[in-house]
Chain A
Amino acid sequence: MMTDIQVLKRKSVEYRQKILKYIVNARAGHTGGSLSCIDILNVLYNHTLQVSPDTFQSPDRDRYIQSKGHTVEALFVVLADQGFFPESDLETLCQYQSHYIGHPTRKVAGVEQNTGGLGHGLSLSVGAALAAKMDDKKYRVFTLLGDGELPEGSNWEAALSAAHYKLDNLCAIIDKNSLQITGSTSDVMNTDPLDRKFEAFGWEVRHVDGHDLEQLKHTFDQVPFQPGKPSLVIAHTVKGKGVSYMENQLKWHHGVPSQEQYSTAVEELKQALAALSA
Chain B
Amino acid sequence: MLETISVLTDTKANLDVFSGTLQQLAETDKDIVVVTSDSRGSGKLVPFGLKFPQQIVEVGIAEQNLVGVAAGLASTGKKVFAVSPACFLTARALEQIKNDVAYSDNPVNLIGISAGVSYGALGSTHHSLHDFAVLRAIHNLIVVAPADSYETEEAIRQAALLEQPVYLRFGKKPMPLLDSSTPFEFGKGRVIREGKDLAIIATGETVYPALQAAEILEREHQLKVTVVSMHTIKPLDTSLLDEIAGSGMPMITVEEHSVNGGLGEACASFLLQNQRQVPFRIMGIPDEYTVTGSQAEIFSHYGLTDRGISEAALTLLHR
- Measured between beta carbons, the chain A residues less than 8 angstroms from B40 are none
Report the bound CA distance from A164 to B62 in whole Å: 13
Cα distance A122–B100 in the bound complex, in angstroms: 11
Q: Are B64 and A127 in contact (CB under 8 A)?
A: no
Q: Is the CB of B54 within 8 A of A127?
A: no
CB–CB B104/A114 < 8 A: yes
Instruction: Indicate whether B174 reaches chain A with its CB closer than 8 angstroms.
Output: no
Which of chain B's residues have a CB closer than 8 A to the CB of A161?
59-60, 62, 65, 69
B77 partner residues in chain A, CB cutoff 8 A: 59, 131
For B80, give the chain A residue with the smallest CB separation: A127
Q: By the criterion CB–CB under 8 Å, are A123 and B96 in contact?
A: yes
Chain A residues within an 8 Å CB radius of B69: 123-124, 126-127, 130, 158, 161
Whether B248 sits at the interface, judged by CB under 8 Å, is: no
Query: What is the minimal beta-carbon distance from A149 to any residue of chain B, in angstroms?
Result: 13
Evaluate contact between B68 and A124: CB separation under 8 angstroms.
yes
In the assembled complex, the CB of A125 is this many whole angstroms from the nearest CB of chain B, namely 6
Q: Are B99 and A128 in contact (CB under 8 A)?
A: no
Interface assignment of A28: CB less than 8 Å from any CB of chain B: no
Chain B residues positioned under 8 Å from A153 (CB to CB): 64
Residues 99 to 140 of chain A near chain B (Cβ within 8 Å)? 106, 112-117, 119-120, 122-132, 134
Whether B68 and A120, one on each chain, are in contact in the complex, defined by CB atoms closer than 8 angstroms, is yes
Some 21 contacts from A to B, beta carbons below 8 A apart, are A116-B99, A120-B100, A122-B68, A123-B100, A124-B68, A125-B72, A127-B73, A128-B72, A128-B73, A129-B72, A131-B78, A132-B76, A134-B33, A134-B54, A154-B64, A154-B68, A157-B65, A158-B65, A160-B65, A164-B60, A165-B57
Q: Please give me the residue from chain B that is nearest to A69 by CB atom.
A: B99
Q: What's the minimum C-beta distance from A150 to chain B, rounded to whole angstroms?
A: 14
Task: Give Cα A165–Cα B59 distance, bound, in whole angstroms.
Answer: 10
Give the contacting residue for B65; candidates A59, A112, A126; CB below 8 A.
A126
- Please tell me if the beta carbons of A112 and B60 are within 8 angstroms of each other in the complex: no
Chain B residues 97 to 112 lying within 8 A of chain A, measured CB to CB, are 99-100, 103-105
A: interface residue count bin? 20 to 34
Chain A: which residue is nearest B78 at the CB level?
A131
Interface residues of B (CB under 8 A from A): 33, 54-55, 57, 59-60, 62, 64-65, 67-78, 95-96, 99-100, 103-105
Q: How far is the CB of A90 from chain B (nearest CB, A)?
A: 22
Contact B103 A114 (CB under 8 A): yes
Q: How far is the CA of A97 from the CA of B73 in the complex (A)?
A: 30
Q: How far is the CB of B206 from chain A (nearest CB, A)?
A: 34
Specify the chain A residue showing the minimal Cβ separation from B73: A127
In the bound complex, residues from chain A placing their C-beta under 8 Å from that of B74 are 127
Which residues from chain B contact A124 at a C-beta distance below 8 Å? 68-69, 71-72, 75, 100
CB of B72 within 8 A of CB of A127, answer yes
Given the contacts A157-B59, A161-B60, A131 and B99 also touching, CB distance less than 8 Å: no
Measured CA separation A61–B34 after assembly (Å): 24
Closest approach, in angstroms, between the C-beta of A51 and any C-beta of chain B?
14
With a cutoff of 8 Å between Cβ atoms, the chain A residues found around residue B54 in the complex are: 134
Q: Which residues of B contact A126 (CB under 8 A)?
A: 65, 68-69, 72
- In Å, the complex CA distance between A117 and B97 comes to 12
Residues of B within 8 A of A117 (CB): 95, 99
B75 touches A128 (CB 8 A): yes
Closest-CB distance, B59 to chain A (whole angstroms): 5
Q: B68 and A123: CB pair below 8 A?
A: yes
The distance in angstroms between the C-alpha atoms of A130 and B35, with both chains bound, is: 11
CB distance from A52 to the nearest CB of B (A): 18
User: In angstroms, how far is the closest chain B Cβ from the Cβ of A159?
Assistant: 9
Query: Do the beta carbons of A130 and B95 come within 8 Å of each other?
Result: no
User: What separation, in Å, do the CA atoms of A129 and B57 have in the docked complex?
Assistant: 12
Q: In the complex, what residue of chain A is closest to B104 when comparing beta carbons? A: A114
Docked pose: A112 CA to B75 CA in angstroms: 9
Contacting residues, chain B, for A165 (C-beta < 8 A): 57
A130 interface neighbour in B67, B73, B96, B100, Cβ under 8 Å: B73
Contact A127 B70 (CB under 8 A): yes
A78 to chain B, nearest CB (A): 21
Say how far A155's CB is from chain B's closest CB, in angstroms: 9
List, in ascending order, chain A residues with CB within 8 A of B78's CB. 131, 134
Please name the residue on chain B nearest to A124 by beta carbon. Answer: B72
11 more A-B residue pairs beyond the given contacts A106-B105, A126-B72, with a C-beta to C-beta distance below 8 A:
A113-B100, A120-B100, A123-B96, A123-B100, A124-B71, A124-B100, A127-B68, A130-B73, A131-B76, A161-B62, A165-B57
Min CB distance B21 to A, Å, is 21
